[in-house]
Amino acid sequence: MSREYSRRGRNWFTAMGVLFIVMALIVLVRNMILWSPEFALDFLLGPDITNEKVSLGMIIFGCIMIGFGYRKQNVRVN
């Protein structure tokens, strides 16, 4: 195993991806607690743009950012 492997994924993309996913999960869990899972699911499957759909998009975008973070080469400091 190389020295660079332990630093893999530690960059701006990965940090922002995790931040997006955490924020989206907070919103989804809060809505499930305040309303009910069935009511939140109705919002998610309805035709309007709602908070749940934006949160789902944030989770997808966060996963894409984490993917870019693992794909991007880290800058080598000598």
Model confidence at 74: pLDDT above 60: no
Report, as an integer, the average pLDDT of 42-46. Answer: 88
Q: How far is CA 21 from CA 4, 32, 58, 70, in A?
A: 26, 16, 6, 16
77 part of a folded domain: no
63 part of a folded domain: yes
67 part of a folded domain: yes
pLDDT value at residue 5: 56
* CB neighbour class for 24 (10 Å; exposed up to 12, middle 13-18, buried from 19): buried
Does the pTM exceed 0.85? no
Model confidence at 23: pLDDT above 60: yes
Q: What's the token pair of residue 38?
A: 């069935």
57 part of a folded domain: yes
Q: How many domains does the chain have?
A: 1
Model confidence at 77: pLDDT above 70: no
30 part of a folded domain: yes
Boundaries of domain holding 37: 3-71
Q: pLDDT class for 19, splitting at 50, 70, 90?
A: very high
